[in-house]
């Protein structure tokens, strides 16, 4: 037993922890949980906890049902909303096969494989997500209209606003669990908020994001409202994205930084951006995995609908911020396509794979776009070589299906499951007769 496992066992005893929740996600990024008693924890560290993997979305097939959840002691945290006495803690798990091998369909393992590939090239992948979400009043019924908790806008300070209290409570809870927050503010939509997590390695960030979503929903329940990470809940207001700042480090050196270069961006950084642009359409079904995601991508309000990059251009898919010129460790890239409902393990894996491909193949970076891409005509965009992202889930699936990069990164099992699941979602979506159609055509036709 290693020191971290001993620390967990000692803390459980000293803090009177009665339940330890073992967390992992299915392929879509839905959090799963199984609770064990303290007496079972030492065995869980040694052997893991067996469960029926075929009952979890995309994890395995019926005839391969036996799976093992093995807790990662470095992720141990006490859940602050469960009370001080007889408390509850959580740990994230790695999913293994009965012979102890990492399960190919475990999203956490998919990201670990991508990070190992980067590590083989001497890189550590860091991420910093800006997470947007909406807060609504509790609905009186399934067809009741959505009522935002306020009418505020971007950076608004609302006197005695409920979202101030909400963000303060959520951030306090996150920081009590060791999850550092950098910024928080009201976003552009009514009832829309943003909380930015501090930079961390991508695996830690992905774990933190799963905890973040749970904390936000718990605080919302405590305050009598509900929170949603749905990409576009309101047709006439901005969607919720998860703009993610990324960088590669070689030891303590930021591989994206080069003093004196344009935007102080190194050749490695330029090739990483080029990889993101070349493969952007291929990874979109992963970074934007729901039919609703495309209402955000093509809904205006600075959503990144077109494949291009720029410096401080908030209509571009990739942006190169330059807030701290001359400070090497701050050089980074902002990928603006991903939304708040993505599975962070899979999304970070394909983003990293795309960027590494650009470095490996020496992709050339096209000229930056400083125009508002939305204001250009189709002809002007074509002349500049600016192509659109997929306009709906069906188009994104078709492009992903032909992608060797996504298939290799996700692995055959996850790749095939995502394709099958998203085809089912699209077929169910397009079969609906929507309120728009009834309003527009029922009496007219």
CA dihedral defined by 182, 184, 187, 191, rounded to 10 degrees? 140
pLDDT (mean) for 425-442: 94
Element (H, E) at 145: none
The mean pLDDT of the chain is 91
**82 closest CA partner among 272, 224, 232, 215:** 215
Task: Work out the pLDDT band at 13, boundaries 50, 70, 90.
Answer: very high
pLDDT (mean) for 368-382: 88
pLDDT at 62: 38
Residue 370 pLDDT > 60, yes or no? Answer: yes
Residue 80 pLDDT > 80, yes or no? Answer: yes
Residue 64 pLDDT > 80, yes or no? Answer: no
| Cα gap 369→392, rounded to integer Å | 24
Task: Work out the pLDDT band at 60, boundaries 50, 70, 90.
Answer: low
pLDDT at 323: 60
pLDDT (mean) for 333-350: 97
pLDDT at 160: 61
Tell me: the pLDDT tens digits for 111-147?
Answer: 999 999 999 999 999 999 999 999 999 987 778 889 9
Name which of 59-68, 78-87, 182-191, 283-292 the model is least confident about: 59-68
For residue 203, what are the contacts with CB-CB under 8 A and spacing of at least 6? 108, 111, 112, 115
| Cα gap 135→30, rounded to integer Å | 20
pLDDT at 143: 80
pLDDT (mean) for 256-279: 94
Tell me the angle at which helices 344-361 and 280-287 cross, rounded to the nearest 10 degrees: 170
The tokens for 192 are: 């829309």
Residue 225 pLDDT > 90, yes or no? Answer: yes
Q: Which fold has domain 113-438?
A: Creatine Kinase; Chain A, domain 2 (3.30.590)
Residues linked to residue 143 through DSSP beta bridges, in sequence order? none
Domain spans in the chain, listed from the N-terminal domain onward: 3-100, 113-438
pLDDT (mean) for 420-440: 94
Element (H, E) at 269: helix 267-278
Same fold, 3-100 and 113-438: no
User: Which position has the higher pLDDT, 65 or 300?
Assistant: 300
3-100 maps to which CATH number?
A: 3.10.20.70
Query: Quick count: other Cβ atoms within 10 Å of Cβ 420?
Result: 12
Residue 81 pLDDT > 60, yes or no? Answer: yes
| Cα gap 148→225, rounded to integer Å | 9
Helix residue spans in 322-411 (DSSP H): 344-361, 378-383, 393-401, 404-410
Name which of 78-87, 338-347, 352-361 the model is least confident about: 78-87
Provide the percentage of residues in the chain whose pLDDT is more than 70: 93
The tokens for 213 are: 């979503």
């Amino acid at each position: 037993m290693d020191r971290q496992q001993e620390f967990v066992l000692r803390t459980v005893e000293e803090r009177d922890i009665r339940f330890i929740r073992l967390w992992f996600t299915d392929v879509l990024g839905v959090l799963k949980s199984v609770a064990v008693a303290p007496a079972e924890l030492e065995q869980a560290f040694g052997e893991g906890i067996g469960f029926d993997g075929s009952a979890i979305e995309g994890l395995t097939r019926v005839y391969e049902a036996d799976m093992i959840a093995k807790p990662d002691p470095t992720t141990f945290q006490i859940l602050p909303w469960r009370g001080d006495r007889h408390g509850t803690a959580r740990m994230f798990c790695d999913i293994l096969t009965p012979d102890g091998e990492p399960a190919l369909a475990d999203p956490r393992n998919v990201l670990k494989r991508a990070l190992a590939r980067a590590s083989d090239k001497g890189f550590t992948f860091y991420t910093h997500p800006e997470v947007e979400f909406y807060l609504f009043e509790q609905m009186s019924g399934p067809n009741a209209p959505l009522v935002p908790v306020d009418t505020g806008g971007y950076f608004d300070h609302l006197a005695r606003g409920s979202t101030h209290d909400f963000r303060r409570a959520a951030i306090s809870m996150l920081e009590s669990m060791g999850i550092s927050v950098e910024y928080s503010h009201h976003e552009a939509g009514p009832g829309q908020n943003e909380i930015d997590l501090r930079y961390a390695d991508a695996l830690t960030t992905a774990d933190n994001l799963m905890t973040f979503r749970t904390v936000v929903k718990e605080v919302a329940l405590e305050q009598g409202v509900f929170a949603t990470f749905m990409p576009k809940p309101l047709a006439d207001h901005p969607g919720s994205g998860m703009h993610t700042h990324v960088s590669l480090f070689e030891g303590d050196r930021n591989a994206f930084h080069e003093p004196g270069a344009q935007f102080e961006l190194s050749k490695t950084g330029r090739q990483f951006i080029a990889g993101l642009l070349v493969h952007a359409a291929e990874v979109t079904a992963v970074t934007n995995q729901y039919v609703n995601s495309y209402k955000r991508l093509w809904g205006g309000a600075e959503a990144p609908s077109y494949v291009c990059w720029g410096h401080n251009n908030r209509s571009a898919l990739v942006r190169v911020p330059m807030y701290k010129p001359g400070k090497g460790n701050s050089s980074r890239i902002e990928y603006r396509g991903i939304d708040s409902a993505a599975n962070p393990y899979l999304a970070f894996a394909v983003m990293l794979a795309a960027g590494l491909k650009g470095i490996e193949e020496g992709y050339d970076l096209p000229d930056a776009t400083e125009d508002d891409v939305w204001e250009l005509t189709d002809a002007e965009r074509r002349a500049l070589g600016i192509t659109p992202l997929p306009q709906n889930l069906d188009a994104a699936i078709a492009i992903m299906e032909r992608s060797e990069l996504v298939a290799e990164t996700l692995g055959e099992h996850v790749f095939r499951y995502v394709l099958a699941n998203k085809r089912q979602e699209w077929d169910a979506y397009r079969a609906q007769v929507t309120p728009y159609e009834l309003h527009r055509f029922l009496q007219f036709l």
